[in-house]
Amino acid sequence: MTDLLTGPDTVAQERRLVTELPGPRSRELAARRAGAVTSAVGSVLPVYVERGSGGVVVDVDGNSFIDLGSGIAVTNVGHAAPEVVAAVQAQVAAFTHTCFMVGPYEGYVAVAEELNRLTPGDHEKRSALFNTGAEAVENAVKVARVATGRSAVVVFDHAYHGRTNLTMALTAKNMPYKHGFGPFAGEVYRVPMSYPFRDEAGMTGEQAAARAFDLIETQIGAANVAAVLIEPIQGEGGFVVPAPGFLPALTDWCRRSGAVFIADEVQTGFCRTGAWFASEHEQVVPDLIATAKGIAGGMPLAGVTGRAELMDAVHTGGLGGTYGGNPVACAAALATIRTMREHDLNAAARAIEATMLPRLHALAERTGVVGDVRGRGAMLAVELVEPGTTKPDAALTNAISKACHAEGVITLTAGTHSNVLRFLPPLVIGQDLLTEGLDVLDAVFDAHAGK
């Protein structure tokens, strides 16, 4: 994949620590930050970033990190992907903003065309563009409510849909996302997720869906449900992959009940799971699909794509926003999608899975602290538990993630119980770099949980 990385400013694809961490310049910036930035915003890494390229991030002291996080599944095409850089530079020089609701431009239309083409299903589709994942999810709910004339929204345990008022209500986890921020939007109902590692052994996807339908029908009433909203693989909730059959059962129920099936593919989208969208793994065709994160190589862009009759049910002027579908972000998205297509990043994600999964399973076997290995493509995770139990071990998860950072590997955690170590490498990461990252992970696990 290194052919992707040959831009003029290419940074060596290597892990290289040249100072203690954080280094002196990062420490200086941390001190400035403490006096300027609210402590309400946290950061995973103790270092400050100066540049990135492909699969590495370089800090202000010259330390180079292997990135297994992609800025939370955003830089799927790699940091500073050459085609994206060129497209952004050209667009910035042409014009940066008109507001699509004032002066429309081709880039927005072209991104909508791509979304309509790439998302599952060959029905007639329309798209609208926004800035963030939360905004996309919120607008999908607006569309579903108008189109159905109903108000209830069904969401799942462990769900994460964002931090705005409505999306906080849709999100499951209290701390840190919701704590103290209520009251939350109404008409949001939570039902159990299919979570094979924690469900009763052998529970099928259909059985898990039936458990949800029983609650929906008795506590909400099918006729009141505007939408069922789900991440096909949960992101912040811990990379929970529902049992096979769960997602198709939900879509069937929606068809029967006149509810809109919304897939939140903000984290799973754009080649992350080895397909353009994770819904494809079970031939699920969402009525509406929310996208963001990986769509534009790091530029803020989000979309809602769906059945034309649903999207067009909203009155003209009902959807929009000052920056939604910004021309620079659209140029980045078009270059990102082109890069994904030309370099077959779905295949790259599957290759990452083929490298990582056996290593993660071996790790689980060796250390005894991994209760579950799961995920798809380049969206993989291990759930850490106290040996021989299913009791979450958040402290160990945090310690291991921090130790990886100290060794120059960027890892992220997730999970309702903060006991999931998740991996989201840029899809262009070189095989050697990925292997080195996994070697570091092995050593860190052995130091913290060796037997």
Instruction: Please give the residue ranges that form the binding site for ligand PLP (CB under 6 A).
Output: 132-134, 137, 160-162, 231, 235-236, 264, 266-267, 292-293
Q: Determine the Cα–Cα distance for residues 410 and 73; give it in Å rounded to an integer.
A: 12
Q: Which is nearer to ligand PLP, 11 or 379 (CB)?
A: 379
Residue nearest ligand PLP, Cβ-based: 133
Complex with ligand PLP: residue 231 or 372, whichever CB lies closer:
231
Nearest C-alpha neighbor of 81 from the set 302, 355, 297, 266 = 297
Q: Which is nearer to ligand PLP, 155 or 433 (CB)?
A: 155
The CA-CA-CA angle for residues 340, 56, 290, to 5°, reads 40
Minimum gap (Å) between residue 193 Cβ and ligand PLP = 13
**Given the complex with ligand PLP, which of 159 and 364 has the nearer CB atom?**
159
The residues with which 225 forms a beta bridge, in sequence order, are 152
Q: Rounded CA gap, 278 and 286, in Å?
A: 11
**Where do the H-state alpha helices sit in 96-191?**
106-118, 133-148, 165-170
CA 331/CA 85 separation, integer angstroms = 10
Pick the closer one to ligand PLP by CB: 23 or 133: 133
- Rounded to whole angstroms, the Cα distance separating 418 from 41 reads 18
For residues 4 and 134, which CB has a smaller minimum distance to ligand PLP in the complex?
A: 134
The CB-of-265 to ligand PLP minimum distance in angstroms stands at: 7
Q: How far is the CB of 101 from ligand PLP (least distance, A)?
A: 21
Task: Report the C-alpha gap between 422 and 411 in whole angstroms.
Answer: 7
- Rounded to the nearest whole angstrom, what is the least distance from the CB of residue 181 to ligand PLP in the complex? 15
CA separation for the pair 272, 283 (Å, rounded): 17
Residue 66: CB minimum distance to ligand PLP, A: 22
Residue whose entry in the numeric block shows the structure tokens 């979304």: 115
Nearer to ligand PLP, 302 or 351 (CB): 302
Distance in Å, CB of 158 to ligand PLP, minimum: 11
The span from the CA of 42 to the CA of 89, in Å, is: 30
* Nearest-approach distance from CB 278 to ligand PLP, in angstroms: 10
The DSSP letter of residue 386 is S
